[in-house]
Chains A and B, each alone.
Chain A
Amino acid sequence: MLNGILFGLKKFFSEIGSGDMVILFSSLILSVTAISGVGFLSDRFQRSIQEQASIVLGAEMVFRSGAPIDDHYIQTAELMDIKTAETISFLTMALSDGGNILSSIKAISSTYPLVGNVTVILEGQSKANLDLNQPLASTVWVEQKILEALNISPGESVTLGNKTFKVAGTLIDFPDRSTGFLSFSPTIIANDYDLEEMGVIQAGSRVVYRQLYSAQPSQLESFLIEVEDDLNGVQVQKVSDLEGQLGNSVTESSQFANLAALFTILITLVSSMIAARRYAKRHLLNTTLMKVFGASKKFILWSQISQLIMLILMATFIGCLLGFSVQALLESILSPIINRDLPPPTARPLWLGFLTACCIVIAACGPYLRILGLVEPIRLLRKEDTQGSKSEASIYLFSFLIFGLFLLFLFNDPRLVGSILFALLGLIILLAGIGYLLIFSTKLSPVFGGYGWLMGLRNLSKRSSENLLQIIVFGVSLTFLIVLAETRSDLVNTWRSSLNQDTPNYFFFNIQDYQLNEVQGFFENEMEANPEFTPLIRGRLIGASSASGSPIDVGRMMQRESNLTWFSELPDNNSIKEGSWWDEEDEQRSLISVDGQAAKSMGLSIGDQLEFNVAGENFTVTVKNFREIEWESFSPNFFFVLSPSVAKELPQSYITSLKIDNDSEAVDVFIERFPTITSVDLESAMDQIRTVIDSASTAVQYIFVLSLLAGILTLVASIFSTVEERNKENAVMKAMGAKQSDILQIALAEFGALGLVASITALFVAIGFSAYISIQIFETSYSPNSVIILSGLLGGFFLILLTGMFVVYRALAVPAVQTLRG
Chain B
Amino acid sequence: MNKTILEVSNVTKNVSSPEGELTIVNDISLSLEEGVFASILGPSGSGKTTLLAIMAGLDLPSRGSVKLFDKEITNLNEDKRAQIRSKDVGFVFQSFHLLPRLSALDNVMMPLEILGAKDAKERALKALDEVGLSRRTGHVPHQLSGGEKQRVAIARAMVKNPSILFADEPTGNLDQSSTDNILELLLGINQQTKTTLVVVTHDHSLAERSDVVFELQEGKLKC
A interface with B by C-beta (< 8 Å)? 3, 6-7, 10, 14-15, 18, 285-286, 289-299, 376-378, 380-383, 822
Most buried by B among A6, A15, A286, A294: A294
Binds A, one of B28-36, B83-91, B128-136, B207-215: B83-91
> What are the residues of chain A within 8 A of B111 when measuring CB–CB?
293-294
Name the B residues within 8 Å of A822 (CB-CB).
142
> Would A294 and B78 count as touching, CB distance under 8 A?
no
Contacts A6-B116, A14-B101, A380-B97 given; indicate if A294 touches B84 (C-beta within 8 A).
Answer: yes
Are A7 and B113 in contact (CB-based, < 8 A)? yes
Proximity bits, B86-109, A CB within 8 Å = 1, else 0: 110101011101010110001000
Given contacts A380-B93, A381-B168, A383-B95, contact A293 B101 (CB under 8 A): no
Interface residue? B5 (CB, 8 A)? no
The 8 A CB mask of B29-63 against A (1 = contact, 0 = none) is 00000000000000000000100110000110000
Q: Which residue of B lies closest to A292 (CB)?
A: B91
Known: A290-B110, A378-B53. A296 touches B82 (CB 8 A): yes
19 extra interface residue pairs, beta carbon distance < 8 Å, beyond A292-B91, A294-B114, A377-B82: A14-B101, A14-B102, A14-B106, A289-B97, A289-B110, A292-B85, A293-B85, A293-B111, A294-B83, A294-B115, A295-B86, A296-B79, A297-B78, A297-B79, A376-B59, A377-B58, A378-B53, A380-B93, A383-B94
Instruction: Determine whether the beta carbon of B58 is less than 8 Å from that of A295.
Output: no
Chain A interface mostly helix, strand, loop or mixed? helix
**Which of B53, B58, B85, B99 is in CB contact (< 8 Å) with A285?**
B99
**Complex Cα gap A290–B78 (Å):** 13
User: Across the interface, do B85 and A18 meet the contact criterion of CB distance under 8 Å?
Assistant: no
Q: How far is the CA of A299 from the CA of B110 in the complex (A)?
A: 13
Q: Which residues of B contact A (CB under 8 A)?
A: 49, 52-53, 58-59, 78-79, 82-87, 89, 91, 93-95, 97, 99, 101-102, 106, 110-111, 113-116, 142, 168
Given A295-B82, A296-B79, A297-B78, CB of A381 within 8 Å of CB of B87: no
CA A377 to CA B85, docked complex, whole Å:
12
Contacts of B83 in A (CB 8 A): 294, 296
Cα A548 to Cα B111 in complex, Å, equals 86
Selected contact of A378 from candidates B58, B84, B86, CB within 8 Å = B58
CB within 8 Å for A285 and B97 given contacts A377-B58, A378-B53, A378-B59:
yes
From the candidates A6, A10, A294, A381, name the one contacting B53 in the complex (CB within 8 A): A381
Contacts of B86 in A (CB 8 A): 293-295
- Interface contact B93-A294, CB-CB below 8 Å: no
A292 and B89 CA atoms in complex are apart in Å by 9
Q: Among A286, A296, A381, which residue has its beta carbon within 8 angstroms of that of B49?
A: A381
Q: Which 10 interchain pairs have the tightest Cβ spacing? A: A294-B86, A294-B85, A293-B111, A296-B79, A3-B116, A378-B59, A378-B58, A295-B114, A377-B58, A378-B53
Interface contact A10-B113, CB-CB below 8 Å: yes
Q: How far is the CB of B79 from chain A (nearest CB, A)?
A: 4
CB distance from A300 to the nearest CB of B (A): 9
**A381→B200 CA distance, assembly (Å):** 11
A538-B111 Cα distance, complex, nearest whole Å: 92
CB–CB B89/A289 < 8 A: no
A18 with B82, Cβ < 8 A, contacts A293-B110, A381-B58 known: no
CA distance A285 to B95 in the complex (A): 11
Q: How far is the CA of A299 from the CA of B87 in the complex (A)?
A: 15
| Residues from chain B with Cβ under 8 Å of A10 in the complex | 113
- CB of B221, distance to nearest CB on chain A (Å): 19
Give which listed residue, B101, B113, B114, contacts A18 with CB less than 8 A: B101
Q: Report 5 cross-chain contacts, Cβ distance below 8 Å, ordered by A residue.
A: A14-B101, A293-B111, A296-B79, A297-B78, A378-B58
Given contacts A18-B101, A285-B99, A294-B89, contact A381 B52 (CB under 8 A): yes
Least CB distance, A379 to chain B, in whole angstroms: 9
Q: A14 to B102: give the CA distance in the assembly, Å.
A: 8
The answer to whether A289 and B95 have CB atoms under 8 Å apart is: no
Q: Tell me the smallest distance from the CB of B137 to a CB of chain A, in Å.
A: 15
Give Cα distance in the complex from A99 to B25, angstroms. Answer: 116
Chain B residues near A292: list those with CB within 8 A.
58, 85, 91
Name the residue among A297, A298, A380, A381 with the largest chain B CB count within 10 angstroms. A381
**When chains A and B are docked, how far (Å) is the Cα of A299 from the Cα of B49?**
27
Residues on A with C-beta less than 8 A from B94 are 383
Residues of B within 8 A of A285 (CB): 97, 99
Whole-angstrom distance between the alpha carbons of A299 and B114 in the complex?
A: 8
Residues of B within 8 A of A299 (CB): 114
Beyond A285-B97, A293-B111, whether A382 also contacts B85 by CB under 8 A is no
Please report the C-alpha to C-alpha distance between residue A378 and residue B82 in the assembled complex, in whole angstroms: 12
Of all chain A residues, which has the CB nearest B79? A296
Task: Pick from A7, A14, A377, A381: contact of B114, CB below 8 A.
Answer: A7
CA distance A382 to B169 in the complex (A): 12
Give Cα distance in the complex from A291 to B94, angstroms. 18
How many whole Å from A324's CB to the nearest CB in chain B?
34
Cα A381 to Cα B91 with chains together (Å): 10
Chain B min CB distance to A306 (Å): 13
Please give me the residue from chain B that is nearest to A303 by CB atom: B114
Q: Given that A293-B114, A294-B87, A295-B86 are contacting pairs, would A381 and B99 also be in contact in the complex, using a CB cutoff of 8 Å? A: no
Bound-state Cα–Cα, A569 to B49, Å: 91
B89 neighbours in A (Cβ, 8 Å): 294
Instruction: Tell me the bound Cα distance from A770 to B126 in angstroms.
Output: 66
Minimal beta-carbon separation of B173 from chain A (angstroms): 10
B38 CB, nearest partner CB in chain A, Å: 17
Of chain A, the residue at the smallest CB distance from B141 is A822
Tell me the minimal C-beta distance from A822 to chain B in angstroms.
8
Tell me the smallest distance from the CB of B36 to a CB of chain A, in Å: 21
Query: Given the complex of chains A and B, what is the CA–CA distance between A376 and B78 in angstroms?
Result: 9
A10 to B91: give the CA distance in the assembly, Å: 24
A3 surroundings in chain B (CB, below 8 A)? 114-116
CA distance A717 to B40 in the complex (A): 45
How near does chain B come to A275, taking the closest CB pair, in angstroms?
A: 15
Which chain B residues lie closer than 8 Å to A297 at the CB level?
78-79
Identity of the chain A residue whose Cβ is nearest the Cβ of B53 in the assembled complex: A378
A294–B113 alpha-carbon span in the complex (Å): 11
